[in-house]
Structure 1
Amino acid sequence: MCRPRRRRRHRGPRRLVRGIGVSTDATGDLAAAVRELAALVHGRILDEASAARARRLVAEAAELVAACPPRPRWHEGPDRRARSAALSPFSGSLNVVAPPLTLDRVTLDDATPAIEGRVRLDRLREGPPHSVHGGVLAGLFDEVCGAAQRLTGRPGGVTARLLVRYRRPTPLDTDLRLVAWVADERTRRVHVRGRCEAGGVVTAEAEAVFVRVNTWPASGEAVGGGTATAT
C-alpha cells in the first residue's frame, strides 16, 4: 500500500477583482484540499488497495458535504458579484475546478487602467509537453478580459467573440501574469485586449468583444452565442 503523505494546511486566494470576494474559511480550505487531491490522483500511480481506500474516504466526505444545505447559484439572490467571484470556474476560491486565478486592478505604464490576473498552473492543465493547454489559456483570457470590461463603470456583458494568438508555449509550474484593458466601447459592445506573460515574456495575446444583454435565458434554455477562434 502507498505510504500516506503528511497533510498540509491549505490557503485560498484572498484578493479578487474590485476587492470583492470571500475570505479564506473552512469551505475555501476544503476546496483547496480537493484541488490538491485531484493533482495527486493525476500524478500518482496507485495500487488497488490504496485506490480503494481513497475512494471510500472520498465517498465518506461526499456524503458529509451532500447533507449540507444547497448553495445558491451566483445569479440567485443579492450580492451576485461577490458570489460570482467566489464560484467562478477560473477565479473562484470555492470552485474546486478553478486553478484559482487571482484578479486585481492595476495601472499600466501608460496610465491605462487594467485588470491583472496571477496564476500558476500544474500538470492538470497540461497540453503540449510541459505547457499549458490552449483551451485553458483561452478560458483564463475570457475571465480576465471579462473582468476588464467592468472598468468602463457600466454593467458587464457576455462574450461575443474571443480571439487568442498563441505566440509561444506557455510553461507549467511558472508564475503567469495576464493583463487586460478596455480598447474601445460602443454603446452595447466593449472591446478588450490582453496578454499573457511568463517571466516577462509574452506567450499569448487576446482580443475580446463583450455585448451587454437585457435578459438571461431560463434554466436549460439556449442563448445565441458568439465565436471563439485561435491563431
Structure 2
Amino acid sequence: MAVDEHYNEHGGFPKFETAKVEPEYGELIEALRRVQDLAVSVDMPADALKAALAQTQQLVATMEPHVVPERKTPAGRVPRLPGRGSLLMLPWTVEKFDADGVRSRGVFRRFHLGGNGAAHGGTLPLLFDDLFGLTQHAYGRPISRTAYLHVNYRKITPLNQPLVVEGHVDKVEGRKTFISATLKNEDGELIADSDALMVQLLPGQQ
C-alpha cells in the first residue's frame, strides 16, 4: 500500500481526523433527515405550512451564527454516525473498513424517492462514489478524484428495505485505482453493481 508524502498538498484536502461531537449532534442530524423525509411527503394546509416555515426560519437563525470553514465542521467526520454525520451522504453505517474492502448497510428513505416506490436512480451513483472514496482510502491509496463511475441497474432499488453495499480494489496502475462494488438486499439478490476509476491527485491539484 502506498504512502502519500504529499497528502496535505493535494488541492487543499485536509487530512481526515475524527470530529469530537456532543451526543445531541447525532440526534440533530437524524431529526434533520426526518424533516427531509417529511418535506417531500406532506401536503399541508396554510396554517400548518406557515407554522412549519416559522419554525424552520427559527432553526436557521439558531444555526447560522455557528457556520465554520469546511475543515472545522464535524459533518462527514463522525464515522460512528450514519453517513458519517453528513446530510449529503446516505445515512448508511460502515460495517467493514480495511484493505480487503469496505461494506456498508442502510436503507433508502422517503427523501430518496424517485417514483413509484423506488429510489431515485441518481442516488445510487452517490452511494457508490462515497463507497469508492472510502475503499481507496482503506486500501491505503493517496488522495484521489473519481475519473469515471459506471452503474448497472439490475433491479428496482426499494425504499425502507435493508441493503448492503460492498466494494474492493481490483487493481492499481500507477496513479490509477480501479474499484468495483455491489449493492444487494439481505437475501443476497443483486440490486446494482458499479465500477470506477480513481486517479491520484498531483501536488497542488484540486
TM-score, normalised to structure 2, is: 0.80
Matched with 2:13 is none
- 1:114 equivalenced with 2:101 (yes/no): yes
Residue 172 of structure 1: SS of its match in structure 2? coil
C-alpha spacing 1:128/1:194, structure 2 compared with 1 (3 Å): same
Residue 68 (structure 2) pairs with residue 71 (structure 1): yes
Counterpart residue number, 1:7:
none
1:19 to partner: Cα distance: 10
Matched residue SS, 1:160:
strand
- Give the aligned partner of residue 221 of structure 1: none
The runs of 5 or more residues in structure 2 that have no matched partner are: 1-15
Query: CA-atom RMSD, angstroms?
Result: 2.7
Tell me the CA shift for residue 26 of structure 1. 2.1
1:212 to 192, 200, 204: 200
Q: Which amino acid aligns with 2:84?
A: G
Ranges in structure 1 where 5+ consecutive residues have no aligned partner: 1-17, 218-231
Could you tell me how far apart the structure 1 residues matched to 2:22 and 2:189 are? 32
1:74-128, Cα deviation, whole Å (9 max, x unpaired): 4x7xxx9x864349xx9231x3343312223258xxxx81100112111211124
> Which residue does the alignment assign to 2:54?
56
Q: 1:169 to 1:24 in 2, by over 3 A?
A: farther
Match in the other structure for 1:102? 93
**Contact 1:103–1:144 (Cα < 8 Å) also in 2:** no
How many residue pairs align between the two structures? 187
Cα 1:83/1:188, change in 2 over 3 Å: farther
The aligned residue for residue 13 of structure 1 is none
Aligned with residue 163 of structure 1, among 150, 154, 177: 150
Q: Percent identity?
A: 21
TM-score, normalised to structure 1, is 0.72
1:133-144 to 2 correspondences below 5 Å: 133-144=120-131
With 95-104 and 189-198 compared, the bigger mean Cα shift is at 95-104
